[in-house]
Amino acid sequence: MYKIVDKKRLSNNVVQMTIEVPLIAKAIKPGQFIIIMVYEKGERIPLTVVTSDKERGLITIVFQEVGKTTKLLGKKEIGEELFAVMGPNGNPFPVRYYGNVVLVAGGVGVAEVVPIAKALKEAGNHITTIIGARTKELLFFTDVLGSISDKLYVTTDDGSYGIKGLVTLPLKELLDTSRIDMVLAVGPTIMMKAVSDLTRGYKVKTYVSLNPIMIDGTGMCGGCRVTVDGKTRFVCVDGPEFDGHLVDFDELMMRQRTYIEQERLALKLLEEKDA
Amino acid sequence: MPKRARVPMREQDPEERIKNFDEVALGYSEEEALLEADRCLQCPKPKCVEGCPVEIDIPAFISLIKERKYKEAYRKIKEKDSLPAITGRVCPQENQCEKTCVLARVGEPIAIGRLERFVADYCKENAQEVKKEPFNGKRVAVVGSGPAGLTVSADLAKLGYSVTLFEALHLPGGVLTYGIPDFRLPKDIIKREIEYVKALGVEFVPNVVVGKTILLDELLKDYKAVFIGSGAGAPVFLNVPGENLLGIYSANEFLSRINLMRAHLFPEYDTPLKVGKKVLVVGGGNVAMDSARVSRRLGAEVTILYRRSREELPARLEEIKRAEEEGVNFIFLATPLAFSGSNGWVDAVECQEMELGEPDESGRRAPIPKKGATFTLKVDTVIIAIGNRPNPIISKTTQGLEVGRYGEILVDPATGKTSKVGVFAGGDIVSGSATVIEAMGAGRRSAIAIHRYLTTGVW
Ligand SMILES: Cc1cc2nc3c(=O)[nH]c(=O)nc-3n(C[C@H](O)[C@H](O)[C@H](O)COP(=O)(O)OP(=O)(O)OC[C@H]3O[C@@H](n4cnc5c(N)ncnc54)[C@H](O)[C@@H]3O)c2cc1C
Ligand code: SF4
Ligand code: FES
């Protein structure tokens, strides 16, 4: 079960992996996510499915090696199996014709946005995509998103590739110069917050895809709760996409840091073991 | 009439046990069990049986203990209760068989739960017969592997059905696995029961969320009948300001991190949990007691805040007593109004004092706020244990499945038949949070009804 059939490094610490999970490959829709456990003593972590192949029963994920769990996952090789893969969880993205759509993606969000981008394109939308990264070496999938999008912008913080600056730079220009019907931001919470803050002034409908700490992914623990429009919602069952203008991002960023010390310790112990 | 008091059960000393997660109650020895069994009057019209939700023939199994026929005693219990080692430990006997036992009127009732546990533990290795009818060509799907799902699966497997048991989590057992802590119900006991169910040929499929991974309507194409035992797993929050501060958990999250993910063994296990020095548990049921006692074992000072008074505490008496012995403090007649914190972490809770008014729809006196009476507690961890609701994933994704006000699936109580042909349901998904024995009993009734339905073809 859950056999890894393909694996590829997209950048220094971003890995693409294809896993055999026929039921999920068949059921998954753009915007939904899975929960995985690398091994028996591992954590349960949510990951977005980037592509799926119903016929062959395969799903492809992209993750960045940041903590212990993603590092362990990155060490798994083709032919090995994962302990648990469960899903699809959450709601599909509301795919329909919006008109002029801008997708803003950063970090692994660049991969996560792919299935939604494809579906929105198929629904007839005009797609402009903005990809942001700190520096050129961290960029990946520019070709994949480039081929789906009608127009692609790339920004790097240091100017080593594309536009120098943050994703909000070309976004603001687009908002100022054209009619935008919907914006979807997927990536680091701080980026989604910046995008939402910007679009609010233009009253452009903005979706964000939230990524809190999760356990079960079925609405059982409440660990993934966020405040949206003053109400508590569970991201795993009520989301993961929400109206960015209503999300309490500061609370979310705070909650994401709950276990920062333990995460550091686990990573340190892993690195010591590896050394 | 024998005046002798019930035989006490040995327990780990409170000082010691708050340093470990080992089982607190140590069970009867053979001598102790014989001594206790000897107190039973073998009533011709046994009142105890009336109090048992699944009508175990209690005097018969106690009489078999007296004759030292433990295996036979075990089988007698198993006729009605598929999980004796578990119910012997977690049933609220004081509200059931031991409440109605005639001896309760004149002194202490027979320790029926302890005897049940003794028999189950005594027979743990070899009394479970893996006997079943040959395959009858019919396939049944069961959703959820808590006590309800496990019972239906085992019963139908014995009758010759091919049973597939789907579970959303990576481990089977439902609340037995993710909710009830090891010191009350050791994991190897659950494992043993699950091994038995597997030995009967039940195919266990983890990591499948019915309604997400596969729709219930899809299952109906491959299986002749489906049983839903998906429990009441959705946590209720207080909905007061500050509830999303760090350090505030639902009991489900707190207990799952420990019981399912083994966070108390971090960093050997990867799932972390952060518990401070002063824990406040809100609620008064078994879930609250479990959360409080786990927190004690993690080294915290623990207070339970309950909105009614001591008399109304819904938890098992034994667990309340043990929580007290372990140094858990109680504040009665109060409820949180708001949480406040610093740097994102909770550090105080403002509470409202309550008083008891007229009985409400639950029959208990309703707590009402006392005007102007509030107080503040300093805390650094809060666990909300005020209840759970049925998880709506299945009902939301299934055509024609009728549910009630709280999302509970509506069924015919005698059979578990839902509004949808071929679909049965039982346990907490029907009753709301209840008990292990009731979930098990519902599973058993549905197994009989499913067998009848698939034999006669009549819905
Ligand atoms: C902390 C705690 C302590 C308790 N203590 C006691 C006690 O001392 N005595 C007592 O009698 N009772 C106790 N209870 C109550 C008792 O555990 C429950 O009443 C009982 O477990 C209900 O059984 P069930 O089979 O209906 O559901 P559960 O045990 O809840 O099992 C349901 C299972 O279904 C799975 N599931 C849910 N949705 C899906 C889906 N869509 N697809 C696949 N699988 C799904 C869940 O993951 C879960 O494993 C306690 C409960 C808790 C939470
Ligand atoms: S009511 Fe009490 S004394 Fe009578 S048979 Fe039952 S357990 Fe024994
Ligand atoms: S992850 Fe547990 S409720 Fe969302």
Read off the pLDDT of residues A70-97 as tens digits, 9 standing for 90 and up: 999 999 999 999 999 999 999 999 999 9
Average pLDDT over residues B262-278: 95
Helix residue ranges, H only, B107-163: 112-122, 147-158
Strands B334-342 and B162-166: unpaired
All residues of chain B having their beta carbon less than 8 Å from the beta carbon of residue A220 are 233-235, 252, 256, 391
B3 pLDDT band, cuts 50/70/90, is low
User: Which numbered atom of ligand 2 lies nearest the CA of B102?
Assistant: 1
**For residues A80 and A38, what is the distance between their CA atoms, to the nearest angstrom?**
10
Cα separation, B79 vs B71, in Å, equals 12
Which ligand is located closest to the Cα atom of residue B216?
A: 1
Residues with CB under 6 A from ligand 3: A 214-217, 219-224, 234, 236
CB contact B235 to A (< 8 Å)? yes
Query: Please, are residues B161 and B449 in contact by the beta-carbon 8 Å criterion?
Result: no
* Cβ atoms of residues B441 and B53 within 8 Å: yes
Percent helix, strand and coil across chain A, each rounded to 5? 30, 30, 35
The backbone torsions φ and ψ at residue B152, rounded to the nearest 5 degrees and listed phi first, read -60, -45
Length of chain B: 459
Query: Which atom of ligand 2 lies at the shortest distance from residue B41's CA?
Result: 3
Measured between CB atoms, does A22 come within 8 Å of chain B? no
CA distance B260 to B228: 22
Considering only the beta carbons, identify the residue of A83, A88, A254 that sits closest to B212.
A88
Q: Tokens 């198993």 identify what position?
A: B78
Q: Which helix (H) or strand (E) holds B335?
A: strand B334-342
Sheet architecture: strand order including B365-378: B334-342, B345-359, B365-378
Q: How far apart are the first and last CA of chain B?
A: 51
> Residue A46: is its pLDDT beyond 90?
yes
CA of A222 to the centre of ligand 3 (A): 5
Burial of A22 (0-12, 13-18, 19+ CB in 10 A): middle
Task: For A206-238, give one letter per residue: b (16+ CB within 10 A) or e.
Answer: bbbbbbbbbbbbbbbbbbbbbbbeeeebbbbbb
Probe site for chain A from B262, B264, B271, B429 (most A CB atoms < 10 A): B271
Residue with the nearest Cα to atom 2 of ligand 2?
B101
Of the listed ligands, the closest to the CA of B287 is 1
Determine contact: B207 vs chain A, CB below 8 A. yes
ipTM given for this complex? 0.94
Q: How far is residue B91's CA from residue B196's CA, in Å, rounded to a whole number? A: 21
CA B235 to chain centre: 15
Q: Which of A45, A218, A226 to mutate to test the interface with B (most CBs of B within 10 A)?
A: A218
Chain B residues lying within 8 Å of A73, measured CB to CB: none
Contact B266 A262 (CB under 8 A): yes
Distance CA B32, CA B121 (A): 14
Q: Are B204 and B167 in contact (CB under 8 A)?
A: yes
Q: Does domain A100-209 have CATH number 3.30.70.20?
A: no
Q: Does B342 touch chain A (CB under 8 A)?
A: no
What's the confidence (pLDDT) of residue A274? 85
Q: Which residues of B169-199 are buried (b: 16+ CB within 10 A; e: fewer)?
A: bbbbbbbbbbbbbbbbbbbebbebbbebbbe
| A260 close to B (CB below 8 A) | no
C-alpha dist (Å) from residue B386 to A97, A146, B183, B238, B300: 43, 51, 22, 8, 21
pLDDT for the residue A254 = 94
Check A259 against B267: CB less than 8 A apart: no
Angle at B171 between CA A61 and CA A86, to 5 degrees: 20
Q: Which atom of ligand 3 is nearest to the CA of A212?
A: 1
- Please state whether the peptide bond connecting residue B267 to the residue before it is cis, i.e. omega within 30 degrees of 0: yes
pTM, full prediction? 0.94
Question: Helix or strand or coil: residue A205?
Answer: coil
Pair B199, B209: CB distance under 8 Å: no
Pick the residue whose CA is nearest to atom 8 on ligand 2: B40
CA angle A15, A21, A27 (to 5 degrees): 105
Q: Strand pairing partners for B341?
A: B346
CB atoms within 10 A of CB B4: 12
pLDDT at B131 over 60: yes
For position B127, what pLDDT does the model report?
A: 59
The reply to whether residue B271 touches residue A232, judged by beta carbons under 8 angstroms, is: no
| Per-residue pLDDT, B115 | 96
Contact across the interface for B244 and A84, Cβ inside 8 Å:
no
Residues within a 6 A CB radius of ligand 1: B 90-92, 143-149, 166-169, 174-175, 179-180, 209-211, 229-231, 233, 255, 286-287, 290, 316, 391, 393-394, 427-429, 433-437, 439
Q: Is the pLDDT of residue B361 over 90?
A: no
Question: What CATH number should be reported for the domain whose range is A2-89?
Answer: 2.40.30.10
Other CB atoms within 10 A of residue B239 CB: 8
Residues near A124 by beta carbon (within 8 Å), at least 6 away in sequence:
A97
Averaged pLDDT for residues A142-150? 94
- Note whether A232 contacts B: Cβ–Cβ < 8 A: yes
Angstrom distance (rounded) from CA B396 to CA B256: 25
Q: What type of residue sits at position B427? A: G
Q: DSSP readout, B269-287?
A: SS------SEEEEE--SHH
Mean confidence (pLDDT) of chain B: 94
Beta carbons of A222 and B233 less than 8 Å apart: no
Whole-number Å distance between alpha carbons of B34 and B458: 48
Confidence of residue A36 (pLDDT cuts 50, 70, 90): very high
| Contact status of A66 with chain B (Cβ, < 8 Å) | no
Give residue for tokens 């009253």.
A203
Structure tokens at B245: 């501060």
What are φ and ψ of residue A185, in 5° steps?
-115, 130
- Closest ligand, as measured to the CA of B47: 2
What is the mean pLDDT of the segment spanning B357-380?
90
- What residues of B are in contact with residue A23 (Cβ under 8 Å)? 208, 213-214
pLDDT at B125 over 90: no
Query: Does the structure show a pLDDT above 90 at B316?
Result: no
Task: Determine the Cα–Cα distance for residues A25 and A260; give it in Å rounded to an integer.
Answer: 33
* Nearest Cα residue to atom 3 of ligand 3: A219
Average pLDDT for residues B452-458, to the nearest whole number? 95
Does the pLDDT value for residue B82 go beyond 90?
A: no
> In angstroms, what separates the C-alpha of A153 from chain B's closest C-alpha?
35
How many CB atoms lie under 10 A from the CB of residue B312?
16
- What are the structure tokens assigned to A104, written together? 């803003």
Q: Does B257 touch chain A (CB under 8 A)?
A: yes
Name chain A contacts of B344, Cβ cutoff 8 Å.
254, 257
Task: Give the residue on A whose Cα is nearest the Cα of B249.
Answer: A223
CA distances from B28 to A154, B10, B81, B254, B268 (A): 71, 7, 20, 32, 34
Q: Give the HSE-up count for residue A155: Cα atoms under 13 Å, Cβ half-sphere.
A: 18
> To the nearest whole angstrom, how far is the Cα of B444 from the nearest Cα of chain A?
26
Contact A207, A105 (CB under 8 A): no
A24 chain-B contacts, CB cut-off 8 A: 213
Give the integer Cα–Cα distance in Å for A48 and A236. 12
**Residue B2 pLDDT greater than 60, yes or no:** no
Question: B412 and B427 in contact (C-beta within 8 Å)?
Answer: no
pLDDT, position B130:
74
Is the pLDDT at B243 greater than 90? The verdict is yes
Cα separation of B86 and B213, whole Å? 30
How confident is the model at residue B356, as a pLDDT? 92
What span, in angstroms and rounded, lies between the C-alpha atoms of B434 and B82? 17
Provide the Cα torsion B103, B107, B109, B114; round to 10°.
-150
The residue whose CA is least distant from atom 1 of ligand 2 is: B101
Q: What digits encode the pLDDT tens for the residues A195-248?
A: 999 999 999 999 999 999 999 999 999 999 999 999 999 999 999 999 999 999
For residue A101, pLDDT over 90 is answered with: yes
How much is the pLDDT for B80? 87
Q: Among partner residues A41, A87, A227, which is closest to B213 by beta-carbon distance?
A: A87
Q: Answer yes or no: same fold for A2-89 and A100-209.
A: no
The nearest CA of chain B is from the CA of A262 a distance in Å of 6
Kindly report whether the peptide bond that precedes residue A88 is cis, defined as omega within 30 degrees of 0.
yes
Tell me the percentage of chain B whose pLDDT exceeds 90: 88
Interface test with B, best of A35, A220, A231, A264 (most B CBs within 10 A): A220
CB burial readout B71-84, b (16+ within 10 A) else e:
ebbbbbbbebbbbb
- Structure-block tokens of residue A56: 């062959």
Query: How big is the CA angle at A104 (ends A98 and A107), to the nearest 5 degrees?
Result: 145
In the three-class reduction of DSSP (H, G, I as helix; E, B as strand; rest coil), residue B205 is classed as strand
pLDDT of residue B132: 86
Counting Cα atoms < 13 Å in the Cβ hemisphere of A43 gives: 24
- Contact of A131 with A139, CB cutoff 8 Å: yes
Q: What is the pLDDT of residues B177-224, one digit of tens each?
A: 999 999 999 999 999 989 989 999 999 999 999 999 999 999 999 999
Mean pLDDT, chain A, rounded, equals 95
Instruction: Decide if B243 and A232 are in contact by the 8 Å CB cutoff.
Output: yes
pLDDT 10s digits, B319-357: 999 999 999 999 999 999 999 999 999 999 999 999 998
B285 lines ligand 2 (CB under 6 A): no
Distance CA A262, CA A243 (A): 31
Count the neighbouring beta carbons within 10 Å of the beta carbon of residue A97. Answer: 11
The residue written with tokens 């839902």 in the block is B418
Q: Does A68 touch chain B (CB under 8 A)?
A: yes
Residue B1 scores a pLDDT above 80: no
- Domain edges within chain A: 2-89, 100-209, 212-238+248-275
User: What is the model's pLDDT at position B293?
Assistant: 97
Q: Which residues pair with B246 in a beta bridge?
A: B345
Q: Pick from A166, A206, A169, A170: which is nearest to A186 by CA?
A: A206
**Nearest-ligand number for the alpha carbon of B320:** 1
Q: What is the pLDDT of residue B126?
A: 61
Q: Tell me the β-bridge partners of B115.
A: none
